[in-house]
Amino acid sequence: MKVKNFFVAGIIASAMFITGATAGFASSDKELCSKQKVNFLKIKMNNGLLPNDEFAPYNFKEVAGAATEMIAVEGKRTHDDKTHAAISKMVSVHLTHIQEAAAGESEGAVEVAGHALRFLELSCKACHKVYDTERKNRKMSP
Ligand code: HEC
């Protein structure tokens, strides 16, 4: 009985240690970006080309919700250098414009969100370009 209790306690303790250790790790760009991708596509589907189309209406709530989640995810990035931090900040700024416009649902909100979406996409790509290049450069150096 005592041995069994010791075992159970041991298992619980290891489980707690493992969850604690996992929660303590900072998420990588890859993990954060795969979350960003899902919401980015949601916003992109609402491209604002047909704001009053009854078959494909602009879903303000979906866009505002997706942008809100993305701002939170973007805030979780850890930065090793200033460029990384600066590009991530730009992503957050464009997301804030989308979030505010969509949540407000005012006249012209679709156009404002669509405009910010173009810049958002460029900012996401900017980071990928910079860090792809860095990876390749590192491989080339001895
Ligand atoms: C601060 C830099 C940075 C920003 C900003 C950024 N990314 Fe990324 N992203 C990366 C890096 C670095 C990788 C490559 C990760 C790897 O392969 O290890 C990546 C990979 C990805 C991937 C591939 C993930 C996979 O499963 O392999 C997707 C999709 C992606 N990003 C989408 C986005 C979107 C959408 C945005 C904008 C909302 C964004 N990213 C903003 C740095 C960034």
Read off the CATH number of the domain in which 97 is found: 1.20.120.10
Task: Tell me how far apart the alpha carbons of residues 61 and 63 are, in angstroms, rounded to a whole number.
Answer: 5
Residue 78 inside a domain? The answer is yes
Residue nearest to atom 22 of ligand 1 (CA): 33
Is the CB of residue 84 below 6 angstroms from any atom belonging to ligand 1? yes
* Ligand 1 within 6 A of CB of 30: yes
Convert 16-28 to b/e letters by CB count within 10 Å (16 or more is b): eeeeeeeeeeeee
Q: Has residue 105 been placed in a domain?
A: yes
- Say if residue 133's pLDDT is above 70: yes
Average pLDDT over residues 13-23: 48
Residue 43 in contact with ligand 1 by CB distance below 6 A: no
Tokens found for residue 91: 């992503």
Q: How many domains does the chain have?
A: 1
Quick one: pLDDT band at residue 99, thresholds 50, 70, 90?
A: very high
CA-based R_g, the chain, Å: 21
pLDDT of residue 111: 92
| Residue at 134 is within a domain | yes
Which amino acid, residue 106? S
Has residue 17 been placed in a domain?
A: no
Decide whether any atom of ligand 1 lies within 6 Å of the 66 Cβ: no
**Atom of ligand 1 at shortest distance to CA of 77?**
1
Residue 62 lies in a domain: yes
Give the range of the structural domain holding residue 131, as residue numbers without chain letter: 27-140
Which of 120, 121, 115, 84 minimizes the C-alpha distance to 101?
115
Q: Token pair for residue 62? A: 């979906």
Which residue type sits at 84?
H
